[in-house]
Structure 1
């Protein structure tokens, strides 16, 4: 099972190439000309300013169906503003659609601040969660990754969704019923200890059985 990275130094290294103009432009070029690309702004309920498109790209990273990409691109600047690589995982003995993990990055350029304000959350809840029922915390996050997940878990509770804390070493799934419970788990979920790789957060549209186990995901 891939680990949850919360160390800032590792996060910066993972996404450094997207912060370089030439490499960002190269990714833009490869995404917009991909064979299996579709505009999902309506599905995600995102109203975008002129020049922006929210795209889903299938089979570019791998020919198999175990991952796809979502990107907010700016066609005027020919740049990638928001990038999300969604990995399909398996939940054993669970009657639902596959769980997913997110590898998420978004631009720090102030020119995109307005359009980015709600995109990540709408993609998370309106698009991914609507289609796959369960989202696992991402193993490679944005520079504000842990804060993004804290917000989404809090938002999920407010929306009446199910939030869980999963410890892989003991295969224990702990229900997080409210904000107080989420606050009390903060140290376990977002620490930088060596065993942090075995802790995951889950948001689900359905109640999960206590005995659920997560299968490994190949990187």
Structure 2
């Protein structure tokens, strides 16, 4: 999850991420949350989302790291997302990538976090215009991106592309439909070959990129 430009770029399927293991366990979650809060946060208002009673939405004072936490005496993280920004994926454009997305599997928080991943994603698109998928994804990460690709293809004003970093000029291929995505691009982008699939990016953009 480094931000340098030599970092390879895309959906290589991985097992459970390290932050999943840290946040899924209650004791580790509260410790991780305490450390996050101690570094400084500010309350955050997410357009289109009403923070439920008993929870806070916060943003780190030290970067683009957002969390929803409980307001209990021992706060617990129930949702987390962290961004990086790059200028080496789309020529002359700054893009953002969610390098950490975590949602609690604990059913007692289901209602609180319902719809939150998609609302955050749409907010980042409004703010930064171009969102690019991470170089490595879990199966859950792939499913989320498939959902957002479907949403973008069916919503006027959004465009979906594949960026093939295995070619020197990193061509962008426009997706014309959901069937086009699944028949031509899904297996092209995701897979278990680290030398191939880490180079292939999915791009959702408010701008027409070609």
Q: Distance in 2 between matches of 1:200 and 1:169?
A: 10
1:145–1:136 Cα change, 3 Å: same
Aligned partner of 2:29 in structure 1 is 24
CA contact (8 A) 2:10 2:200 kept: yes
Unpaired runs of at least 5, structure 1: 60-66, 210-219
> How far apart, in 1, do the equivalents of 2:59 and 2:138 lie?
19
Stretches of structure 2 lacking an aligned partner (at least 5 in a row)? 1-6
CA, structure 1 residues 142+75, in 2 after alignment: closer, same or farther (shift >3 Å)? farther
Structure 2 equivalent of residue 4 of structure 1: 10
Normalised TM-score (structure 2): 0.84
For the pair 1:133 / 2:129, whether they are aligned, the reply is yes
CA displacement at 1:28 relative to structure 2: 1.6
TM-score by length of 1: 0.81
Cα displacement string for residues 156-200 of structure 1 (whole angstroms, at most 9, x for unaligned residues): 112220100111011111001211111121111222223110111
For residues 73 and 28 of structure 1, do their structure 2 counterparts lie closer, same or farther at Cα, with a shift above 3 Å needed?
same
Q: Which of 147, 150, 160 pairs up with 2:146?
A: 150
Aligned pair count reads 196
- For 2:11 and 2:19, the matched residues in 1 are separated by 10
* RMSD of aligned alpha carbons: 2.0
Match of 2:179 in 1: 180
Determine which of 44, 48, 51 is the counterpart of 2:47: 44
Partner SS, residue 144 of structure 1? helix
1:27 deviates by 2.2
SS where residue 203 of structure 1 aligns?
A: strand
* CA distance in 2 between partners of 1:44 and 1:119 (Å): 11
Q: CA deviation at 1:201?
A: 0.3
